[in-house]
Structure 1
Amino acid sequence: MKVYLAGPDVFLPEAAAMAAEKKRLCALHGLEGVFPTDPRPDPAADAAAEAWYAIYLRNEAHIRACDALVANLTPFRGPSADAGTVYELGFMRALGRPVLGYSNAAADFASRTRHFLGPEARRNEAGRWVDGEGLALEEFGLADNLMIDGGIRAAAGLLVRRDVPEAARWTDLAGFEACLQALARLRQGG
């Protein structure tokens, strides 16, 4: 089973080392990890004039070639998961394949959003949390936007939420391993 390893890990200073470690853990569970930066011959990508579009085409080709996806949904540059990762998760879900995710921040999305907004977050006259523009916040107790949690649940996937020390926010892989264990069981039919 080939597993696309989605997440903002590509932005880490040691992205290649993270890719190698995630692939090693996949192999321990009888899975083949595919990292977004892995080379993939793609005539359309190779012909693309702009580097960003070539990257997009290669990542989409990787996703199409994989059997499942595990997403690092740890909040990235704000209260929510990385937008590119969320796109990839939705793309794989639309293909009807297993999607799983983990976050190294256990607090729910509403709490993280209120913290991020600071004093701009307030309760309106109806008692709902809103931002500085009066726009309502999601308050479902979920890990992130309901479409992310819902997509994983609808795929019968797993979403692992755990708090880790801040220094290990991008390197702690216990949640990732829990997702791999679930995929290995799925691959074995149980």
Structure 2
Amino acid sequence: MRVYLAGPDVFLPDAAGRAAALKAVCARHGLRGVSPLDCLEGEPSAWAGLGAARRIALCNEAHIRRAAAVIANLTPFRGPSADAGTVFEVGFMRALGRPVFGWSNTAALFTERTRAFVGGGRRGVDGAWRDDEGLLIEAFGLADNLMIDGAVLASGGALFAAEVPAAARWVDLSVFERCVAAASRMLLGAASRC
């Protein structure tokens, strides 16, 4: 059972080592992890002449189409929210009607992270939190933007989060392991009932 491993892990200094570690966790739970770094079997020859960015995007979409689910690292990346590319991949899989599971090594809610990012924000006359430009700060008590949480939950997947020390944020796989275990129970349980 193939699962696509979305996340900013591809930007880590040892991205290949990280992909191998993520795949090993998946294998322990009976799943085949597919990294965005993996070569695409049967890649169309017409893609060879494309620029690197376009080719990577097409390969990642093809990997997602071939997967039974997405397991997305939603740990905030370069700001208060998840990596933008990962968020696209979550939405892409949701549009395909397949499960999305999310995990984060940050337990702080999106509102708290956004307020910290914008320097605290302030209460508007309506009582809502606003940034220095007067723009509303989303405050629904969710892990991330409501569309991200909503996509994961509506897909039948689940979100897992725990606060990991900052020094271990990009190496600790304990939350990922919990997420993969849940995905495995759902996916392999459904397959055994067929």
The TM-score normalised by the length of structure 1 is: 0.96
Map 1:1-190; keep pairs closer than 5 Å.
1-40=1-40, 41-43=42-44, 44-48=46-50, 50-119=51-120, 121-186=121-186, 187-189=188-190
Distance 1:150 1:11 in 2: 26
Distance 1:122 1:79 in 2: 17
Distance 2:160 2:136 in 1: 26
After TM superposition, give the deviation of residue 45 of structure 1 in Å: 2.8
Distance 2:183 2:124 in 1: 43
Distance 1:151 1:93 in 2: 6
After TM superposition, give the deviation of residue 135 of structure 1 in Å: 0.9
User: Could you say what the CA RMSD is over the residues aligned between the two structures, in angstroms?
Assistant: 1.2
1:169 partner letter: R
Where does structure 1 lack aligned partners over 5 or more consecutive residues?
none
Where does structure 2 lack aligned partners over 5 or more consecutive residues?
none
Distance 1:166 1:151 in 2: 27
- Percent identity of equivalent pairs: 60
Structure 1 residues 22-79: Cα deviation after superposition (integer angstroms, max 9, x where no partner) = 111111111000000100142243231x111111011111111111110000000000
Structure 1 residues 89-136: Cα deviation after superposition (integer angstroms, max 9, x where no partner) = 1100110111000011100001000000005x1111111111121110
Q: Secondary structure at the residue paired with 1:85? A: helix
Distance 2:36 2:95 in 1: 19
Q: Secondary structure at the residue paired with 1:160? A: strand
Counterpart contact for 1:6–1:69, Cα < 8 Å: yes
Report the number of matched residues: 188
Counterpart contact for 1:45–1:55, Cα < 8 Å: no
1:4 partner letter: Y
Counterpart contact for 1:92–1:98, Cα < 8 Å: yes
Counterpart contact for 1:45–1:58, Cα < 8 Å: no
Q: Secondary structure at the residue paired with 2:118? A: helix
1:73 partner letter: L
Off by >6 Å, runs of 4+ in structure 1: none
2:91 partner letter: G
1:78 partner letter: G
